[in-house]
Homo-oligomer: A and B are copies of this chain.
Amino acid sequence: MLVVMKAQATQEEIQAVCEHIEQLGFRAHPLPGAQRTAIGITGNQGEVDRGNLEALSGVAEVIRVSKAYKLASRDVKEEDTVIRFAGIGNHPDAAIGGRNLAIIAGPCSVESREQAFAIAELVAASGAQFFRGGAYKPRTSPYAFQGLGVEALRIMAEVRERFGLRIVTEAIDNETLDLVAEWADVVQIGARNMQNFSLLKRAGQLRKPVLIKRGLSATLEEFLMSAEYVMSEGNYQVILCERGVRTFADHTRNTLDLSIIPAVRRVSHLPILVDPSHGTGKRDSVLPMARAAVASGADGIMVEVHDHPEKALSDGPQSIYPGQFAVMMDELEKIAPVVGRNLPRGIRIGAGAA
């Protein structure tokens, strides 16, 4: 159910409607729009009585939302969600969603301070605004490298200050969620946890952006329902990320399903990124798929970059070289305007005096 407020409704009227909803045992989600505010109603005790709501002051109309996902639906919020990040030091502010493409780059795992700094410097120099690096790694084998944990979080906090890069890193359970939320700018929920509903609910109680990677066999509806889990708890800063699904095809590690980009745009207001590294698993497919992602309308790219991929503790074969990353940025910058986008390249270190 969605309550659409009149354009001229006051904050008090909005507040009163929300309180009325909560008294009925439901949850109210005020969603400000360009013209007017809408209030999403969620809960699992059946439906709110419509008549009473329509009689409240400031209410324009009450609409039934027929899709399984409510708050994630474009029916509830027509305008694209843009998640904004303040500037760090003298580095400009940034956003995910909206006109500017967001580029998240970095190693699969943070392996050492030296490695993280070396890669961060290179990706910042090419214009990335976000740094990715695994602190807690969900590995198929219990005997594989599991990440440096909190040490990696501390290293990334330094990276943040030094290079003005926002930090995106994965939480793998409720315990690490709190730690990651403390240190990072964006909390990532990995593909294997896309339907870890307990974790999603806890992420919904954060007031930090949450990036959800599509599960290996998740349908569009399931993907949006995972976003809905986070949003239903009051955290509306959700970013989606396509990273390939599992099929019979064996020329790539996963099959990157770019057609989900226009499909998400159609039904949801949430931003969606593409990870061509996991999406292909092969270094020489990363650039072609990054270009394709932007051309298909994605809001940005999340990509693994490593200065010595052959020595990487995880995902070496799919990590691109810094030089390839620079080429990718140049290519994306040229494709962006074709789809009405812009690739901001930040303060390019070393782009220098020129």
Does chain B have a CB within 8 A of A256? yes
Query: Given A249-B245, A251-B259, A262-B288, A140 and B225 touching (CB < 8 A)?
Result: yes
Does chain B have a CB within 8 A of A110? no
- Are the CB atoms of B288 and A261 closer together than 8 Å? yes
Closest B residue to A143 using CB positions: B44
CA gap between A28 and B247 in the complex, in Å: 37
Does chain B have a CB within 8 A of A284? yes
Contact of A259 among B173, B255, B262 (CB under 8 A): B255
Closest B residue to A244 using CB positions: B259
- Are the CB atoms of A295 and B291 closer together than 8 Å? yes
CA gap between A254 and B351 in the complex, in Å: 44
Per-position contact with B for A212-254: 1 when CB-CB < 8 Å, else 0?
0000110111100100110011000000000001111111100
- Are the CB atoms of B174 and A174 closer together than 8 Å? yes
Residue with the greatest number of chain B CB neighbours at <10 A, chosen from A255, A284, A293? A255
Contact residues in B for A331 (Cβ distance below 8 Å)? 338-339
- Are the CB atoms of A195 and B192 closer together than 8 Å? yes
Contact of A334 among B220, B247, B262, B338 (CB under 8 A): B338
- Contacting B at CB under 8 A, from A174-215, are 174-176, 192-193, 195-199, 201
- Are the CB atoms of B146 and A44 closer together than 8 Å? yes
- Are the CB atoms of A255 and B252 closer together than 8 Å? no
Minimum CB–CB distance from A146 to chain B (whole Å) comes to 7
CA gap between A246 and B143 in the complex, in Å: 28
Does chain B have a CB within 8 A of A279? yes
Closest B residue to A294 using CB positions: B295
With an 8 Å Cβ cutoff, the count of chain A residues facing the other chain is 76
- Contacting B at CB under 8 A, from A116-148, are 138-146
Contact residues in B for A175 (Cβ distance below 8 Å)? 174, 198
Contact of A296 among B144, B216, B248, B289 (CB under 8 A): B289
Minimum CB–CB distance from A191 to chain B (whole Å) comes to 9
- Are the CB atoms of B219 and A216 closer together than 8 Å? no
Does chain B have a CB within 8 A of A68? yes
- Are the CB atoms of B263 and A251 closer together than 8 Å? yes
- Are the CB atoms of A196 and B201 closer together than 8 Å? no
CA gap between A219 and B176 in the complex, in Å: 27
Residue with the greatest number of chain B CB neighbours at <10 A, chosen from A42, A172, A197, A337? A197
**Among all A-B residue pairs, the 6 with the closest Cβ atoms:** A173-B198, A295-B295, A217-B217, A292-B292, A192-B195, A291-B295
Task: Please give 8 more A-B residue pairs, beta carbons under 8 A apart, in addition to A70-B143, A141-B228, A263-B282.
Answer: A44-B143, A142-B233, A173-B174, A193-B195, A217-B217, A220-B249, A291-B296, A295-B335
What are 19 pairs between A and B in contact, CB < 8 Å?
A: A68-B140, A70-B143, A142-B228, A143-B232, A172-B196, A172-B198, A176-B198, A217-B246, A219-B249, A219-B250, A245-B249, A251-B259, A251-B263, A259-B279, A261-B288, A262-B284, A262-B285, A262-B288, A291-B295
